[in-house]
Homo-oligomer: A and B are copies of this chain.
């Protein structure tokens, strides 16, 4: 099932079999994007939305000098540009981080869903509001936390979200972001990210190898990042850092 990870691990995911089938049937085709490619540019008209089947993508905005600010990081099960359905155009760019397989859903089929399946429509709405909740958390992170806190928060969030879709194994998960990318998500330079990573590593709070990250002590990291996963609306079994 292409859409099996959609809202997986979230509370209130009461989709009926009929709704699941309607969503799966709404997929028009599947594509594969190479790593590090911008797939959508701000302002383009959107006629379909993109559900990540596997791989990772991000949404970002460039400042005047071309420095990138990530505004969201997306993993399997995320409907990355569903915002484009009501908005028609987006205010930011979208790119892959790692290679990604995506399912494309034409907007006319989403319109049909909102007419025929009001509850499923509210679940789609819900999923865009999860993004908004993450945005708020990112605002908090940038506005109130220092460098170590921001990075700890970002890693804790990624850990929790990947956990929800079964992609954490023994505290380890894929992490295809460079230190430069992490800096662009956290409003820091890659140099400073490197120094903070070292401190966290020396404190036994993170480990890394082969583009994967391990969190030996998630609660301690969550404490540094003032992270609490409420805003991810996870199912009961997933609600500890």
Contact = CB atoms under 8 A, between A and B. Distances in A.
Interface stretch (A46-54, A124-132, A166-174, A190-198): A124-132
Interface string A114-145: 11001001110110110111011111101111
Interface residues of A, number: 48
Contacts of A211: none
Nearest to A110: B122
B231 A91 contact: yes
A92 B61 contact: no
A86 B126 contact: yes
B132 A121 contact: no
Q: How many copies does the complex hold?
A: 2
A63 B144 contact: yes
B128 A64 contact: no
Given A126-B87, A145-B63, A71 B136 contact: yes
A5 B125 CA distance: 22
Contacts of A226: 63-64
Nearest to A133: B91
Contact of A143 (B87, B88, B111, B187): B187
A13 interface: no
21 contacts: A42-B230, A43-B230, A61-B136, A71-B136, A71-B139, A83-B133, A86-B129, A87-B233, A91-B136, A91-B230, A111-B118, A111-B122, A114-B118, A114-B121, A118-B121, A128-B128, A132-B132, A132-B135, A135-B138, A142-B187, A143-B184
